[in-house]
Structure 1
Amino acid sequence: MHVSHLSLADFRSYARVEVPLDPGVTAFVGPNGQGKTNLVEAVGYLASLGSHRVSSDAPLVRMGADRAVIRASVVQGERQQLIELELNPGKANRARINRSSQVRPRDVLGIVRTVLFAPEDLALVKGDPGERRRFLDELVTARSPRMAGVRSDYDRVLKQRNTLLKTAAMARRHGGARPGDAAALSTLDVWDQHLARAGAELLVQRLDLITTLQPLTDKAYEQLAPGGGPVALEYRSSVGEALAPVQAGPAHSREELFELLLAALGAARKQEIERGVTLVGPHRDDLHLKLGQLPAKGYASHGESWSYALALRLASYDLLRAEGNEPVLVLDDVFAELDSRRRERLAELVAPGEQVLVTAAVEDDVPGVLVGARYTVAEGAVERVDA
């Protein structure tokens, strides 16, 4: 699978740009701040309906414009599809496939799949649990696009449940419940059921992912840092001792996870009402990364942390490729962050990819093994450089 043409209108710094793309390696080279990352960010948005740089769509729309449009031609074997996404901050986004009538944006998920390497990846090892949860959930959705709906349902239920808990907490702090508060709290049992059902689906997918990802990550780390492992992925859950920690493995069925979540929500009810927030569920969990016998966070060196983050991305790529529909590899200004050994090793590992998109500030940052098309990016212009 590869993207054969990318078209942007009012996306980030571009009023309009058309970029033909070939299979193999394509490098976008130019000074920082000229729009290189904006191009690969748009490709990533097609795959995940989100940006690796910002949490909302508003910054993606060019200043002064009301909306942005990402359009891409995607080739998979003999089949070609046209994807169009219209970003409307504050309103519903729109999508079309093959110029058909409007579809839901999440219906485009799975047509393009990407694995992104970026300087921000260091946060997978050194950052907060939210970074690792996002990594898991984006990969879960790449494997099974229907999980976008499950994640949306979970977030909706969580928001509603937190609103009820916050109302109860405020009433308690101000000396008692107001009329209607008791009735509102009585609905918590219903929301618990919904949260546990969606949460169990998300949990079973995360655990299955970790089971599959574990040996691939260990292999990738050994390729990047020979003799430096082993690495281990452990799931730390908020539901209590039954899942904290969980070694990756198919130890729990969907129904068992539902019952565990439901019981944990019941046990935490009093504390949740006091604090006004949901304390149990996948939104509170973490992926615990170990290097040898020690946690990587706090113990791994800077180089080891980089190798671990890169290994997680390489493992993701190997997993998606093994399951069909090889993803586009995106390396966004990542080589400048690496020492020469890791730079060359990573380049050798990704070079055979069906499509590899690279951004770099200077040509020397692109390893020699990554031979392919070159574009210069400067002052809003994207121009191909003949070999």
Structure 2
Amino acid sequence: MYVRRLELVDFRSYERVGVDLEPGGNVLVGPNGVGKTNLVEALGYVATLASHRVATDAPLVRAGAATAVLRCAIVHDGRELLVELEIAPGRANRARLNRSPARRARDVLGALRLVLFAPEDLELVRGDPAERRRYLDDLLVTRMPRYAAVRADYERVVKQRNALLRTSYLARKTAGGRGRAARADDGQPAEGGNDLSTLAVWDTHLARHGAELLAGRLELVAALGPHVTKAYDAVAAGRGAASIAYRPSVELTDPVPDRSALEAALTAALAEARQSEIDRGVTLVGPHRDELTLTLGTLPARGYASHGESWSYALALRLAAYDLLRADGVEPVLVLDDVFAELDSGRRERLAELVAGASQLLVTCAVADDVPQALRGARYEVSDGQVNRAD
């Protein structure tokens, strides 16, 4: 698989730009701040319908424009597929496949398989658990696009359930301030408009959708673990053993539970946490509270890994995702955004050896000499608002 052409209209800093890319190596060179990362961010958006840099779509649209348009021509097994996306903050995004409208934007997921490593990935090691959960869920959707609906359904349930608990909490707090006692037990309505009668319904939805998402994550981590260990060993030249493990917010008695067992475990945990959730006004149980633990040797990577070890670990997580997707039978596009400037010469060369055979590799850099010779293919000069082929 490779991207043959990328076109952007009113995306980030680009009013309009088109780039013809090549299989194999592609190096985007230019000073900091001229838009190199914007180009690979656009590819990441085509692949995942989200940015790796910001949480909302509004910053993706060029200042003064109402919408942004991305067009991406993807070649796989000799056939070309055109994906078009219109990003409209505040409204539903629209998508087309080979110029035919898609019913939903997420119908384009799976058209482009891409693994992107960027400086922000250091947060996978050093940041909060939410960063690692997103890493898992993005990879899960890339492997099996049907999980996009599972993920969306689960997030919707948690949002609705939290709103109900929060409303109840605020009602009790207000009632308490007026000297009226208000306490809800077993999901029953409480004095002062504190109605939790629908909480049991949301429990059922959370357990069902949560079990599906949790099952997917557990299966993914089991498949991904050996690739992480191998990739870290290769990048760090054997300096420490890396391993990952999934830590759910519910107790699981079976090491390989099926979906019905996961649903039962979530249902039981919700019942046990009911009063604590009511008291605090937030959902305390479910995959949104889980953690992916990263271990280096016998210690957690977060808080103990050095800067170099953290970079190596973050790289290993992305390379492991790349290897896992390749093992599934479709080689993804690999993007390394401003990576080599942060690596010592040894790590540069080892990384180059690992990725030199990629079907398509995109590298961004400020200094061309930072990129190992083995990865220098087609070269593009990036300046403000323009991208020009240099060879």
Provide, for residues 312-355 of structure 1, a one-character-per-residue CA deviation record: whole Å limited to 9, x for no partner. Answer: 11110000011022111000101111111111111221111000
Work out which of the residue numbers 233, 242, 260 in structure 2 matches 1:255. Answer: 260
**CA–CA distance in 2 between the matches of 1:216 and 1:238?**
25
Question: Partner residue of 2:345?
Answer: 340
Question: 1:96, CA displacement in angstroms?
Answer: 0.3
SS in 2 for 1:65: coil
**CA–CA distance in 1 between the matches of 2:147 and 2:387?**
36
Aligned residues of 1:211 and 1:250 also touching (Cα < 8 A): no
Question: Partner residue of 1:145?
Answer: 145
**CA–CA distance in 2 between the matches of 1:11 and 1:250?**
46
**CA–CA distance in 1 between the matches of 2:327 and 2:94?**
31
Aligned residues of 2:233 and 2:242 also touching (Cα < 8 A): no
Structure 1 unaligned segments of length 5 or more: list them.
244-248
**CA–CA distance in 1 between the matches of 2:194 and 2:160?**
14
**CA–CA distance in 2 between the matches of 1:219 and 1:69?**
39
Q: What root-mean-square deviation, in Å, do the aligned CA atoms of Structure 1 and Structure 2 show?
A: 1.3
SS in 1 for 2:80: strand
| Partner AA of 1:286 in structure 2 | E
Work out which of the residue numbers 222, 239, 253 in structure 2 matches 1:211. Answer: 222
TM-score, scaled to structure 1: 0.95
Aligned residues of 1:218 and 1:229 also touching (Cα < 8 A): no
Mean CA deviation greater in 88-97 or 115-124? 115-124
Structure 2 unaligned segments of length 5 or more: list them.
176-181, 183-189
Aligned pairs for 1:22-33 within 5 A: 22-33=22-33
**CA–CA distance in 1 between the matches of 2:3 and 2:205?**
38
Number of aligned residues = 378
| Partner AA of 2:52 in structure 1 | H
SS in 2 for 1:356: strand
Question: 1:26, CA displacement in angstroms?
Answer: 0.5
Question: Partner residue of 1:170?
Answer: 170
Question: 1:309, CA displacement in angstroms?
Answer: 1.1
Question: Partner residue of 1:223?
Answer: 234
Aligned pairs for 1:125-144 within 5 A: 125-144=125-144
Aligned residues of 1:207 and 1:250 also touching (Cα < 8 A): no
Question: 1:179, CA displacement in angstroms?
Answer: 5.9
**CA–CA distance in 2 between the matches of 1:336 and 1:98?**
38
**CA–CA distance in 2 between the matches of 1:302 and 1:181?**
49
Aligned residues of 2:171 and 2:193 also touching (Cα < 8 A): no
Provide, for residues 223-252 of structure 1, a one-character-per-residue CA deviation record: whole Å limited to 9, x for no partner. Answer: 11232232221111212x437xxxxx9611
**CA–CA distance in 2 between the matches of 1:231 and 1:39?**
32
Work out which of the residue numbers 315, 324, 330 in structure 1 matches 2:320. Answer: 315
**CA–CA distance in 1 between the matches of 2:237 and 2:336?**
22
Residues 100, 127 of structure 1: alpha-carbon distance in 2 compared, 3 angstrom cutoff:
same
Question: Partner residue of 1:238?
Answer: 249
Question: Partner residue of 1:110?
Answer: 110
SS in 1 for 2:303: helix
**CA–CA distance in 2 between the matches of 1:101 and 1:170?**
44
Q: What is the identity percentage for the equivalent residue pairs of Structure 1 and Structure 2?
A: 64
| Partner AA of 1:15 in structure 2 | E
SS in 2 for 1:174: helix
Aligned pairs for 1:1-387 within 5 A: 1-175=1-175, 176=182, 177=190, 180-182=193-195, 185-239=196-250, 241-242=251-252, 251-386=256-391
TM-score, scaled to structure 2: 0.94
